[in-house]
Structure 1
Amino acid sequence: MNYTEIAIEVAAGVPVSLAVAFGGILFGAILAIGVAAARISPVRALSGSAWVYLQLVRSMPMIALLFLLYYGLSQFQAVRESIFWPVLREPIWCAIIALSLKASAYISEVYRIGISSVPSGEILAARSFGFRGFRLYRSIIIPYATPVVLPAMSNEFVILVKASSLASLITLMDITGIAASIGSETFRPLAALSMAAVYYLIFNSISIALFRLAERKLKK
């Protein structure tokens, strides 16, 4: 099997890898809004719970989280009989959930830092003009925080895309899973895994370029 044939075979895992990476990051970014809101909340029960959640998720390795969701939860009869079992028995959904949890823990801190970067004087001035709740965030906080958040978001995005490759360890045939299978079958692991690395390099290069473009647009 030459490099062209290997590239074609590995390409079959691209849709799965994209689904895991972008699905996990999208759901994680949405969940991170709630986590960040709880983290900066003046209510100690909320901020404390968010802090505990962050410590647990960030300290747990991605591979342990994947195994816990896919292999661990299936050991409980109550889980297998619940309405969640059709989702939790599928490796792709377990991978998306695991990546979403990881993404929410890291992205929520990026959000929090972005919100904290807004000068308190601007917030007080906006409130004096009647800006409250969603209107305050839409008109003042988000426009000010976005340029601060984007560079950190691009770094987290690249890290999470690379972390999505661990989904192959729970029988998911994504880019890494197919490459590993080809390597074991043809005894050419270097060629197969190198091709997988090329695909991830392309994805991350395009993502970084898009983030840089967005940063330049915001600076104008």
Structure 2
Amino acid sequence: MRLAHFYSLLLAPYAAAQALSTFPATPLASLHFPAPSDAPEHADPGNLARGNQTGYNICNSTTEGPASLCQTSFVNDLSDFCLWAPQMPGSTIGNTEGDEVAWCTKKGHGTRLIPDGALQAVQLLKAPDYVIVSGLINQSFINIASDDSGGELDPHGQDLRGNPIGGLMYSTQFSNGQGPMQVIEWVNFMGSKYA
């Protein structure tokens, strides 16, 4: 069994940077949906060069399970976090980065669940302005090809629509007990065939 490294870095919410003059009219990182209940069905406007958002952002008990296409992710604590990974088994991050879905450690987010035995080691580091979850995972358990060296997922992408397209991130780490709030800047590095 090959284990892969992963880590997610969440930066505290901040005022959006000035949008670049490219499509879409408003970059994903500039869209604000303060709580998961504020998210639209699709955060991405669609009908753009790279195609449409393949999943959805309104996720609940009716969308939860192994076929979920939820593209709303959470990082709340060491026992309650999500990772981005492909929809189909044996996929590579590079070929599916725009279509990744959320895989979570805990039920209740309307996502796919990270299977038992996938996570081999996990640690959480919290600082005033960021949170890092890192660890080792058997990436084939979450549809990443076992020999894939992985890639980076973030709310920007080559056309400012995000990877995954329309992917949103929420966390309770910065909300002072007020429930999950949108995290504007996040990075999720997934996969490594060298672990």
- Shorter-chain TM-score: what band? under 0.3
More helix by share: 1
TM-score (norm. length: structure 2): 0.24
Q: Which TM-score applies when normalising by structure 1?
A: 0.22
In terms of fraction of residues, the more strand-rich structure is 2
Structure of larger gyration radius: 1
